[in-house]
Structure formats: structure tokens, C-alpha cells
Amino acid sequence: MNKFTSLFLLLSPILSMAYAQSSLPTTPTDVHKQWVQAFNEKNISWLCALYKNDAIVQRLDGTVAKGKKELCQDLTLLINSAKSIEMVTAYAVAGEKLTILRSKYMFVLKAANKSEQRVFGSGIEVVQKQNDGTWLIVADHPQGGN
């Protein structure tokens, strides 16, 4: 391995996080666009950066992931089990500091026999405007719109 490759491998997690932090959404609907892009690029750092530190996420089993550590563990499992996601914003109820989003999505999951399984759903997300003008997810219910 040459010096450039070693340096790149060493710095890639840092560069990924810097990229995520410098390109956070500046409108509520950009949250969905960036979520899809980060997910499809398998960039867990960027995906997790879209959530506030104290965000809550409703899990399929009825429990709630509280805080970035728990939800990032869940997102890592999801990102590793899916090939891709497509998502559109069905509507946005916009306020000055809070916006309610409704997403419609389709996950393409990796099946055990190497086939693909498509999962359709509709989620509800609450995003909050931060002091720097970016928008982050504070609450996420992936099946809330079903």
C-alpha cells in the first residue's frame, strides 16, 4: 500500500464526517433528499448527522431508539440489510422552527437467497431548524404514515 492510500484510509472517516457536517440540509424537504443520498451511498456518518443528538425513532417492534448512539446502531443494521431506498416527500407542514414531513418510500432489501425484496412504507418525521440555519430530524416514525 502506498503512502497516499494509507493516508486516504486513515482520513476517510474524518473527511466523511466533515462532509456530512458541512452539507446538512438548509430546507426541511432537503432532509429527505439527503437521507436518501446518504443511505444509498452507505454513508452512515452523514446519515447519523441528519439527526439531533437527542432524537427519537420509533422502531418496528414498538420500542423507541433514544439518542444518536441507539439510532445510529439501528441505522447501521438497516443500511447493511438494504441495497437502496427511493423516497419522496408526500407533504410538509411547515412552521418557522418545526416542520412535519410525510415520506413515501421503497426499500430494496437483500434477501437470503440473493433475491431482492421490496418494502413500501410511509413515514412521519419532525425536523427542527437549528441556530445555524440547518434542519435536523428530532423525531422519526418510519411507519407513521401507513
Q: What is the pLDDT of residue 16?
A: 45
CA 134 to chain centre: 15
The reply to whether 36 falls in a domain is yes
Bridge-based pairing of strands 135-141 and 82-94 is unpaired
Q: Nearest-CA neighbor of 39 among 88, 78, 94?
A: 78
Residue 100, in any domain of the structure: yes
SS3 label, residue 70: helix
Residue 146 lies in a domain: no
What per-residue confidence (pLDDT) applies to 5? 40
The pLDDT score that the predictor gives to residue 127 is 98
Q: Which of 99, 101, 78 is nearest to 32 (CA)?
A: 101
CATH of the domain at 24: 3.10.450.50
Number of folded domains in the chain? Answer: 1
Range of the domain at 14: 3-141
Q: Is residue 10 domain-resident?
A: yes
pTM exceeds cut of 0.85: no
> pLDDT tens digits, residue range 39-83?
999 999 999 999 999 999 999 999 999 999 999 999 999 999 999
